[in-house]
Each structure stands twice: as C-alpha cells, then as structure tokens.
C-alpha cells in the first residue's frame, strides 16, 4: 500500500477510535494525530476538516460493514433453514453492533444539523434496506409485493438498530439477541402459513417477463432489455460471456426462475430456492453454485472458500461448455431434491 494511503488509513482508524470513545465534539484533531502518530500537517493534507474525516469514516464504514453483513446474511438465506440461519447471523451482528451503534447514533444526531452527514447517512440506510431486501428475496420470492418487501427490510433494520440501542441503555431488561430471535421466529411462522400459490398480482407483474406455472417447462425470465441494461457497464467479452452462460443455464435447467438481484450484482437462478448465479467481473464471469461443495466436479473447475458455495471463473473464449452444463444439471437436480425433502 502506498505510504500516503497508509497514513490516511491510520488517521481514519485513529479518528474512529477517538470519536467512538470520546464523542465527535470531544475528539480533537490533536488527539487523533497523537493516536495515529501523525502530524497535524499530515491530517490536513488528507482532510480539510474534522468533519471531512468523520464523513470519510462513515463512507468507509458503510462500504466495509455492509459488505461483511451482506456476506453473512447471503450465506444465511441460502441455508436449508433460512430463518434459523438468519437468527445466527443477527446474533453475530448484534455483538459487533454494541461497539458500532453508539457512534452510529451520534452520526444520526449530527445529520440533523449537517447536510453533508445527512446525505451520507441517508445513503447508508438506503443501501442497508436494499441489501436486506435482496437477502430476503431468494426465499420470500414473490409471495409479497415489492412495497411490502421494502417495508419488511426496513423493519428488520429497525429491529437490529433498535435492539442493540435498547440493550446498551437497559442491559438488565433487554437483549438484542432475544428481540431479533423473537421477530425472526414470528416471521418464520407467518411465512410457513402462506399459500405459495396465492401470490400477489402486483408482485407477479413485470415488463418482459414470461411465467408458465401450469407446467414445469419454463420458469420466469428477465427481459432482454433488462439483461442488456445489467451487462452494459462491462466489456464486450464479458457481456458475451454472460450471454453464453445465461443460455447454458437456461438450456440445462429451463424450469428455473431468473431474476436480477441488484444487491448482490448478480443474475440468479431459482428452483424453489437459489441454486446458482452469474456475476460479471472486470475480465471474466463467476458462475457460482450455492451448494457447490456437494457437486461432483471431475474436471476440478470449482473453487472458493465459502462455507458451501463454489464458483467457476469463466472467460468468453474459454467456456468449458460440457463440464459447466453437467454442473448446472447437478445443481438443479440437487435443488429440486432439496425442495421435495422440505
């Protein structure tokens, strides 16, 4: 890492600790520099003011923490018992929240007076709601309307923030874990009683989508326009690779429902549960199997260190079509068998 970036990171970490332990107004630039082992000149080289440093912490924290939270909840929603896994994920985040939420509350209070902070914190809440909605979508599906899903994701974020805040203020009577466990247990019971055939009319609407639920021949599809819009930011070879892999998946498992999951930046494939996804990158495309650890992989294509998921990085001019087709068929059959068991 370049020296300038190391210094900035050191100042940001020191400022975070000072703001957390002393509060925004009591944490001086002198104190931050002393903790970071840096000069005031170095501080003002990187930040125009203490508020600029505060906003940088907020932006960095939003990116890093949301990425980690999303990873935790992504794994939970792919589990066979998602609500139980969500409870475990919430418990992990509740513990971290006890350290972070006090500072976050100060961010929120300051946002009432500082437009720049308000803009950043509003962006965080928006990202958080969107991420939670996309985490829920794989198993909630279109059982509820989009507006209801947005409201549910906002409520879950509120349970997290409110639970941690109440425990910090009244630890003898309130625990964040008990709150989140109770809410998720209730949600599991509610969704268990929903008739999956009684889907919302509005939720099933979508320009360019086709649904053939009378037979298992073909599932839902995103429109060609939506696909082109999704891959547009990427290079020509990556767009072509996405198109080829999309055709391969839909040919091998035509009953799959297809959708864009914007929070994860993927096109996902579902057979009563998410089983694979396509994620474009700068020079290639990841074809991820969410239970890839269980797949027979004689060609040794699957890689990754996630708990269950395994991926194949594919380039447009190097697509091992037969081997990938076999993996897609296996993954689809595994997901269908899992759905029957459930």
Judgement on whether residues 252 and 335 belong to the same structural domain of the protein: yes
Q: Tokens for 284, please give them.
A: 């290639």
* Per-residue confidence (pLDDT) for residue 327, from 0 to 100: 96
Decide if 311 is inside a domain. Answer: yes
Decide if 37 is inside a domain. Answer: no
Domain end call among 146, 174, 192: 192
* Per-residue confidence (pLDDT) for residue 79, from 0 to 100: 61
Decide if 289 is inside a domain. Answer: yes
* Per-residue confidence (pLDDT) for residue 342, from 0 to 100: 55
Do 312 and 284 touch, CB atoms closer than 8 A? no
Task: Tell me the C-alpha distance between 302 and 292, whole Å.
Answer: 7
Of the candidates 268, 276, 255, 260, the residue with the CA atom closest to the CA atom of residue 213:
255
Domain end call among 149, 172, 192: 192
Judgement on whether residues 237 and 157 belong to the same structural domain of the protein: no
Judgement on whether residues 251 and 335 belong to the same structural domain of the protein: yes
Do 315 and 247 touch, CB atoms closer than 8 A? no
β-strand pairing of 285-289 with 274-280: antiparallel
Judgement on whether residues 154 and 241 belong to the same structural domain of the protein: no
Of the candidates 15, 78, 24, 60, the residue with the CA atom closest to the CA atom of residue 42:
15
Decide if 204 is inside a domain. Answer: no
* Per-residue confidence (pLDDT) for residue 84, from 0 to 100: 74
Which residues span the domain enclosing 75?
49-192
Judgement on whether residues 153 and 259 belong to the same structural domain of the protein: no
* Per-residue confidence (pLDDT) for residue 248, from 0 to 100: 95
Judgement on whether residues 158 and 290 belong to the same structural domain of the protein: no
Task: Tell me the C-alpha distance between 97 and 91, whole Å.
Answer: 10
Do 261 and 134 touch, CB atoms closer than 8 A? yes
CATH number for the domain harbouring residue 234? 3.90.1150.200
Decide if 290 is inside a domain. Answer: yes
Decide if 305 is inside a domain. Answer: yes
* Per-residue confidence (pLDDT) for residue 210, from 0 to 100: 38
* Per-residue confidence (pLDDT) for residue 214, from 0 to 100: 34
User: What is the value of pTM for the model shown?
Assistant: 0.53
Decide if 181 is inside a domain. Answer: yes
pLDDT along the chain (342 residues), means of 10: 82 90 89 95 94 85 65 62 73 77 80 83 78 68 72 85 88 87 80 55 41 52 89 92 94 91 83 89 93 90 83 91 94 83 58
Judgement on whether residues 112 and 180 belong to the same structural domain of the protein: yes
- In which residue are the tokens 């903790």 written? 35
Judgement on whether residues 54 and 186 belong to the same structural domain of the protein: yes
Q: Which residues contact 110 (CB under 8 A, 6 or more apart)?
A: 24, 54, 117
Judgement on whether residues 288 and 236 belong to the same structural domain of the protein: yes
Q: Which residues contact 80 (CB under 8 A, 6 or more apart)?
A: 338, 342
Judgement on whether residues 229 and 147 belong to the same structural domain of the protein: no
Q: What is the DSSP letter of 320?
A: -
Judgement on whether residues 54 and 188 belong to the same structural domain of the protein: yes
- In which residue are the tokens 């896994």 written? 85
Q: Which helix (H) or strand (E) holds 1?
A: none
Task: Give the count of domains, the chain.
Answer: 2
CATH number for the domain harbouring residue 180? 1.10.357.10
The count of other CB atoms within 10 Å of the CB of residue 65 is 17
Judgement on whether residues 160 and 237 belong to the same structural domain of the protein: no
* Per-residue confidence (pLDDT) for residue 207, from 0 to 100: 36
Decide if 18 is inside a domain. Answer: no
Domain end call among 142, 176, 192: 192
* Per-residue confidence (pLDDT) for residue 90, from 0 to 100: 77
């Amino acid at each position: 890492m370049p020296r300038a970036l190391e210094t900035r990171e050191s100042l940001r970490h020191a400022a975070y600790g000072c703001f957390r332990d002393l509060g925004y107004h009591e944490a001086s630039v002198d104190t931050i520099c002393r903790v970071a082992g840096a000069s005031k000149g170095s501080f003002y080289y990187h930040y125009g003011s203490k508020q600029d440093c505060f906003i940088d912490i907020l932006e960095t924290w939003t990116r890093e923490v949301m990425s980690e939270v999303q990873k935790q909840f992504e794994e939970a929603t792919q589990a066979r018992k998602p609500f139980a896994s969500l409870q475990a994920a919430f418990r992990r985040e509740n513990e971290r929240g006890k350290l972070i939420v006090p500072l976050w509350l100060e961010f929120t209070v300051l946002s009432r007076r500082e437009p720049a902070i308000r803009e950043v914190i509003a962006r965080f809440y928006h990202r958080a709601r969107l991420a939670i909605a996309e985490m829920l979508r794989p198993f909630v599906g279109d059982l509820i309307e989009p507006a209801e899903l947005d409201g549910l994701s906002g409520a879950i974020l509120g349970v997290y923030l409110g639970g941690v805040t109440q425990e910090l203020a009244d630890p003898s009577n309130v625990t964040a874990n008990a709150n989140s466990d109770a809410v998720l247990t209730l949600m599991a019971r509610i969704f268990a009683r929903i008739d999956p055939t009684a889907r919302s009319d509005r939720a099933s609407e979508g320009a360019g989508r086709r649904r053939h639920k009378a037979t298992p021949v073909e599932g839902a599809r995103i429109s060609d326009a939506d696909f082109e819009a999704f891959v547009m930011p990427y290079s020509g070879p990556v767009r072509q690779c996405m198109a080829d892999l999309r055709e391969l998946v839909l040919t091998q498992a035509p009953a799959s429902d297809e959708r864009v999951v914007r929070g994860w930046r993927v096109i996902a494939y579902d057979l009563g549960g998410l089983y694979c996804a396509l994620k474009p990158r700068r020079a290639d495309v990841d074809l991820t199997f969410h239970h890839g650890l269980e797949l027979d992989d004689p060609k040794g294509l699957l890689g990754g260190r996630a708990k269950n998921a395994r991926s194949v990085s594919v380039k447009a001019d190097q697509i091992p079509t037969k081997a990938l087709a076999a993996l897609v068929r296996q993954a689809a059959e595994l997901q269908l068998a899992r759905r029957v068991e459930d």
